[in-house]
């Protein structure tokens, strides 16, 4: 094998390979990248990525240790010409001022994840690329419910949930049999960039995504995604709605985390007419009260409350990062909360929790309102 290319071009290809290479491997071959002409391939047995790079010369095949090669190439100036060549001692890498010998394994040892020989690709529009990016926030990492560890392509929607939050977004395409693209593949897809086409074979449990100069192949999750539509609330005509600035809400939650109780930080919202406050804590650990001055409250002639786990509120703010406002709609304190924003088509659900702070939160509405008036008079 002999490869002649620029260090910068090889570094870019190695960066993409690094999305698949795992830090620790029981099989040495999984810590290698396979060179085959002007492309490199990396795999973890569940997913593989292939990246092309420009080369003045590229022939033959060999497997080279990823970590060593990546560190070395990253320390060579991008405009330096490098030559990678097999010899009796393994693989050498040469550039103007250096000659390195690297560990290698036979290319024939490199594993194949068993992709179908022919897969029917469909052009991917901007909509499905956005769908992967948006709903990836809601993918679970819980091992016991492995079937939630990915994005389900359910008809014309991309859906993900971890049991506490759920998001769906139209893909502009239609998929049969509800295939589930695994979490690690989704993460790699979002990091590589917009994909141009995809092919999904549910029967053979494989999917392939094509980018500019890059191919990502992955196994699908062998499981059944739950009937998520059952938790989507049908809001009553008189259901309360809270409209808040996303940045204001996120800042308040971060400040309130100073009085969190243990691992779980619960935040209770109390709303009445056009006043909304967030309440957290207890008398033993401290109390946080924040008025959300920009909040608009609809359909709350009497005080209403609803509580959430703060970490999922933060996650929701991150998912709707391109929106200035969030709209919380719910029938009662125990029902799923539908969250919408200016991001058209993006639907998300946040499950409430019981905090036991309802009465204290309601009392905070008048307390903070009086304080605001007193401060205004003092000013």
The CATH number of residue 56's host domain is: 3.10.150.10
Q: Which residues contact 271 (CB under 8 A, 6 or more apart)?
A: 240, 242, 277, 295, 297, 300, 303, 304, 305, 365
Quick one: 52 and 174 in the same domain?
A: no
- Calpha distance 130→169 (Å, rounded): 8
Quick one: 370 and 294 in the same domain?
A: yes
- Calpha distance 291→276 (Å, rounded): 6
> Is 136 a domain residue?
yes
> Is 8 a domain residue?
yes
Instruction: Identify the pLDDT of residue 355.
Output: 87
Quick one: 31 and 141 in the same domain?
A: no
Contact 286, 273 (CB under 8 A): no
- Calpha distance 122→124 (Å, rounded): 6
Quick one: 101 and 151 in the same domain?
A: no
Asked which of 230, 265, 284 is the last residue of a domain, the reply is 230
Quick one: 238 and 373 in the same domain?
A: yes
* Per-residue confidence in pLDDT tens, the chain, 379 aa: 999 999 999 999 999 999 999 888 889 999 999 999 999 999 999 999 999 999 999 999 999 999 999 999 999 999 999 999 999 888 999 999 899 999 899 999 999 998 888 888 999 999 999 999 999 999 999 989 999 999 999 999 999 999 999 999 999 999 999 999 999 999 999 999 999 999 999 989 999 999 999 999 999 999 999 999 999 999 999 999 999 999 999 999 999 988 776 678 899 999 998 899 999 987 677 899 999 999 999 999 999 999 999 999 999 999 999 999 999 999 999 999 999 999 999 999 999 999 888 999 999 998 887 765 455 444 4
Instruction: Identify the pLDDT of residue 11.
Output: 97
φ, ψ at 37 (rounded to 5°): 65, -140
> Is 115 a domain residue?
no
CA distances from residue 46 to 184, 252, 324 in whole angstroms, order as listed: 9, 41, 38
In the chain, DSSP finds a helix count (H) and a strand count (E) of 7, 26
CA distances from residue 174 to 122, 224, 332 in whole angstroms, order as listed: 11, 18, 34
Instruction: Identify the pLDDT of residue 321.
Output: 93
Instruction: Identify the pLDDT of residue 192.
Output: 95
- Calpha distance 336→333 (Å, rounded): 8
Instruction: Identify the pLDDT of residue 379.
Output: 46
Quick one: 268 and 320 in the same domain?
A: yes
Asked which of 208, 230, 252 is the last residue of a domain, the reply is 230
Quick one: 19 and 81 in the same domain?
A: yes
> Is 114 a domain residue?
no
Quick one: 43 and 66 in the same domain?
A: yes
Asked which of 109, 131, 149 is the last residue of a domain, the reply is 109
Quick one: 76 and 145 in the same domain?
A: no
Number of domains in the chain: 3
Quick one: 141 and 154 in the same domain?
A: yes
Quick one: 130 and 98 in the same domain?
A: no
Q: What is the pLDDT of residues 63-92, one digit of tens each?
A: 999 999 999 999 999 999 999 999 988 899
> Is 117 a domain residue?
no
> Is 213 a domain residue?
yes
> Is 356 a domain residue?
yes
Q: What is the pLDDT of residues 294-336, one digit of tens each?
A: 999 999 999 999 999 999 999 999 999 999 999 999 999 999 9
Quick one: 219 and 240 in the same domain?
A: no
- Calpha distance 39→214 (Å, rounded): 9
> Is 340 a domain residue?
yes
Domain range for 220: 122-230
């Amino acid at each position: 094998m002999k490869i002649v290319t620029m260090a910068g071009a090889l570094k870019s290809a190695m960066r993409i390979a690094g999305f698949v290479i795992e830090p620790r491997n029981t099989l040495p071959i999984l810590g290698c990248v396979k060179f085959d002409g002007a492309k490199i391939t990396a795999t973890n047995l569940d997913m593989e990525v292939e990246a092309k790079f420009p080369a003045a010369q590229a022939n033959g095949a060999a497997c080279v240790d990823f970590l060593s090669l990546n560190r070395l190439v990253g320390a060579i100036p991008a405009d330096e010409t490098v030559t990678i060549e097999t010899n009796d001692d393994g693989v050498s890498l040469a550039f103007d001022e250096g000659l390195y010998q690297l560990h290698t394994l036979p290319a024939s040892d490199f594993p194949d994840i068993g992709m179908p020989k022919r897969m029917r690709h469909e052009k991917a529009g901007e909509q499905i690329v956005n769908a992967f990016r948006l709903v990836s926030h809601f993918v679970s990492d819980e091992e016991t419910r492995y079937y939630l560890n990915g994005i389900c392509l359910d008809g014309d929607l991309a859906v993900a949930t971890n049991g506490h939050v759920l998001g769906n977004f139209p893909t502009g395409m239609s998929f049969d049999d509800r295939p589930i693209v695994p979490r690690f593949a989704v993460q790699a897809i979002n990091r590589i960039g917009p994909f141009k086409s995809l092919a999904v074979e549910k029967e053979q449990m494989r999917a392939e995504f094509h980018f500019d100069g890059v191919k990502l192949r992955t196994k699908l999750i062998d499981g059944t995604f739950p009937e998520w539509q059952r938790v989507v609330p049908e809001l009553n005509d008189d259901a309360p709605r809270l409209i808040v600035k996303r940045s204001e809400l996120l800042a308040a939650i971060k400040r309130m985390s100073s009085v969190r109780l243990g691992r779980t930080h619960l935040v209770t919202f109390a709303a009445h007419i056009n006043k909304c406050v967030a309440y957290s804590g207890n008398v033993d650990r401290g109390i946080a009260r924040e008025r959300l001055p920009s909040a608009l409250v609809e359909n709350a002639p009497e005080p209403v409350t609803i509580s959430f786990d703060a970490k999922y509120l933060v996650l929701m703010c991150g998912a709707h990062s391109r929106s200035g406002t969030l709209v919380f709609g719910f029938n009662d304190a125990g029902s799923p909360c539908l969250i919408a924003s200016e991001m058209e088509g993006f639907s998300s659900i946040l499950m409430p929790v019981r905090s036991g702070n309802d009465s204290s939160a309601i009392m905070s509405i008048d307390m903070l309102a009086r304080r605001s008036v007193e401060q205004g008079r003092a000013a």
